[in-house]
Amino acid sequence: MQLAAIIVSLVLMAVGVALFGRATVQIYRFVKLGQPVPAGTRTDNPWQRAVTVVKEFLGHTRMNKWGVVGVAHWFVAVGFFSLLLTIVNAVGQLFQADWLLPIVGEWAPYNVFVEFIGTMTVLGILVLIAIRQLNRPGGAGRKSRFAGSNTGQAYFVETVILIVGICIFTLHALEGAQHHVDSYEASFFISYPFVAWFRGMDLATLQTLTYFFAGLKIATSFIWMITVALKTDMGVAWHRFLAFPNIFFKRKADGDVALGALLPMTTGGKEIDWEDPAEDATFGVSQVEQFSWKGILDFSTCTECGRCQSQCPAWNTGKPLSPKLLIMSLRDHAHAKAPYLLAGGGKDMEGNEQATPEQLADVPASALAEAERPLIGTVEENGVIDPDVLWSCTTCGACVEQCPVDIEHIDHIVDMRRYQVMIESAFPSEAGTMLKNLEKKGNPWGLAKKQRVEWTKEVDFEVPIVGKTIEDLTEVEYLYWVGCAGALEDRAKKTTKAFAELLHIAGVKFAIMGGDEKCTGDSARRLGNEPLFQQLGAENVAMLNMAYGESLDEDGGVDESTRKPKSSKKIVATCPHCFNTIANEYPQLGGEFEVIHHTQLLQHLIDEGKLIPVTPVEGLITYHDPCYLGRHNKVYTPPREIMSAVPGLRQQEMHRHKERGFCCGAGGARMWMEERIGKRINNERVDEALSLNPDIVSTACPFCLVMLTDSVNGKKNDGKAKESLTVVDVAQLLLDSVKTPAEPTDTPESEIAPEPEPVK
């Protein structure tokens, strides 16, 4: 037994270490196939990045959002790295059954640690195995977050961890028996019953058991190492190594997720100069090697846990997009194509092969075949990513928010969209109408700019307009950025008028632009039309800077130490998409403005006593979190506090809310595209709201307002929703409560003149 265990273990160790070293080099070369990133964007503030890695690993800050799963995974992850010395101990035990590690081998704190972490690793993996069984795809179908994952690989990894954990526990108990532990002590506070059991065996039996379990532990560990070394695309195993660099190189050094702003387009590691782009510039991604090296690292790090898939509104409504399956497809394609790329293969913009036949002579036929596959294409075209997958995304951010290893799904989806729109002109036809309207009229509806201020005639107070009733923004406290929907869409205009009236009641000095403003470009950018976003954004930034006039310093009014505007002038927006774009993306264009959402300002005015809700608004209310207000910008509390301040309202949360809120279906330019596959996302969200039987569904976004209202109206027509159900912005609720009810009149009803018939 001893000789066999020694020979098998040493052979497996030698082979495993050699292959694993080779695999590490292969993955490094593979990741470097990706394009460079702008200097400093992934390596700035290295100390903070290192702290983020430690916090996310030791604190499991991403995993612990899932309760017991996070706790179980913590012990498994920590056990994997912290119990590495037990392999050394096992090697020593092959040669001498009662061998102990020098120095720490008899140190009680170390033995207590091994005892506790080893036991908890076994319990942790048993919990994870049970959870996988309860959520196996065979039982739950698409609803399982493991649907599409490599189940066999997961079972292999789980079995390895379970066997190794049992071996560690058993070997520790055998140590106690061989070292004559005849009474309870801290070093064996869990395994002592087994120590007592083993103590009844003779020495030869104890030694044989030690050789067996030591050999089993080593063999299992290095069979695992050999397996993953031979399969470098095995994300369920490699994530335990690649997660550390992937977290370190995440977009934001402080640990925040890659939401909010989209990254500017780059080529060759530099931002594209849109006034004079380079002749060889690459626009978007049409080949897997055109992703950045961080993108390639993202694909390789995916552990196939399916948290992104379980939260994705597209997947949950029967559409082909699963963020997990998207990343897995890109990973598998990239790994399969890697031998071709590493040999120097690649094609130029015209599709001509850049490598010589001699360079490709030794490339496997499978890699050459993979290189011929289009990155975006239908099943018939043998494409890696189906166009329907690409255009199903609402960029809601649920995938990025939930990913435990910080994969940046949205950036990769938008990069592929950019190529499709800018080079192939291949995108849903109805979105083309929106783009044309933006180009010609500066708004998605193609309406005249004078209509942007028509709503001001529908309120009974004067709304200051820059360039007309006031000279510039030095005369007011806030610029109210109304946005296209708020100015032009009938339902959103109700929010606009309500918010303006609330500002008027509170005595807040504000002004709006006079109609010369353009769409912020949110939909154009997320659709993939980056040049149009750049054009719209540059025009808006120039106009805003001019509107601020002398209130901005010559350096642009930016305090270099804080990167915040020196000017006290602020912008408030009722549209989260406008809010996000001006606050997070206009700085890329030289526009540094202090932007808040209208719910934040309203909450502040309530706290100051400038708005006092007095009139009860009776009913049960549920709030829908707009994705670009919530997940993308972490604004969850203000809307809820506003509703709490309104007397009479009874709040109840939908099952999916806040960080796990469910999209309305309008983000990512989906507002302007037909939804032809599966269930409509807005119907799914309204069905969830209707399960509470509310009187009011509230939100804080004009896009959400439109989508939810459309669904509610449809369900009223079908008799599935009560006629009294309303969908409103929280600003409308607050206005109803702030305004005191009209005094009753003594005029007989017969003497009240009837309202005139509306003009048709």
569 pLDDT tier (thresholds 50, 70, 90): low
How far does Cα 28 stand from its chain's mean position? 25
pLDDT at residue 406 tops 50: yes
Per-residue model confidence (pLDDT) at position 583? 95
Query: Which is more confident, 555 or 728?
Result: 728
558 pLDDT more than 80: no
Which of the residue ranges 128-142, 565-579, 694-708 has the most confident prediction, judged by mean pLDDT? 694-708
**103-154: per-residue pLDDT in tens?**
888 888 999 999 999 999 999 999 999 998 888 876 567 888 899 999 999 9
Whether the CA torsion 254, 256, 260, 263 is positive or negative: it is: positive
pLDDT for position 702: 96
Q: Classify the C-alpha dihedral 158-161-164-169 as positive or negative.
A: negative
Length of the chain measured in residues: 760
Rounded distance between C-alpha atoms, residue 131 and residue 68, angstroms: 10
Does the CA dihedral 240-241-243-247 come out positive or negative?
Answer: positive
pLDDT at 741: 67
Find where tokens 């595209």 sit. Answer: 673
pLDDT given for residue 33 in this prediction: 92
Q: Quick one: pLDDT band at residue 417, thresholds 50, 70, 90?
A: very high
Among the ranges given (66-80, 320-334, 394-408), the one the predictor scored with the smallest mean pLDDT = 66-80
Contact 572, 596 (CB under 8 A): yes
Number of H helices, E strands in the chain: 28, 12
Cα 573 → chain centroid = 23
Residue 359's contacts (CB-CB under 8 Å, 6 or more residues apart) are 343, 344, 345
Q: Please tell me the predicted confidence (pLDDT) of residue 184.
A: 79
Q: Compute the distance between CA of residue 759 and CA of residue 693 in angstroms, rounded to an integer.
A: 37
What is the DSSP track for 18-83?
HHHHHHHHHHHHHHTTSBP--TTTTTSSHHHHHHHHHHHHHS-TTGGGGTHHHHHHHHHHHHHHHT
The 10s digit of each residue's pLDDT in 263-321 is 999 998 999 998 888 888 889 999 999 999 999 999 999 999 999 999 999 999 999 99
DSSP state letters, 671-725: GGS---SSS-HHHHHHHHHHTT--SEEEES-HHHHHHHHHHHHHHHHTTSS-TT-
How many Å apart are CA 547 and CA 557, to the nearest integer? 13
82 Ramachandran zone, left/alpha/beta (phi>0; psi -120 to 50): alpha
Q: What is the pLDDT of residue 739?
A: 85
Across the range 410-421, mean pLDDT stands at 96
- Of 129-138, 202-211, 431-440, the poorest mean pLDDT is in 129-138
pLDDT tens for 641-680 read 999 999 999 999 999 999 999 999 999 999 999 999 999 9
The first and second tokens of residue 191, run together, are: 């395994």
Q: Who has greater pLDDT, 760 or 219?
A: 219
Q: Using CA atoms, how far apart are residues 100 and 114, in angstroms rounded to an integer?
A: 13
Check pLDDT > 60 for residue 760: no
Residue 749 pLDDT greater than 70, yes or no = no
pLDDT value at 565 more than 60: no
Mean pLDDT of the residues in the chain: 91
**pLDDT above 70: percentage of residues in the chain:** 94
Rounded CA-CA distance 292/517 in Å is: 35
Confidence check: pLDDT of 551 > 90: no
Query: Tokens 């509470």, residue?
Result: 692
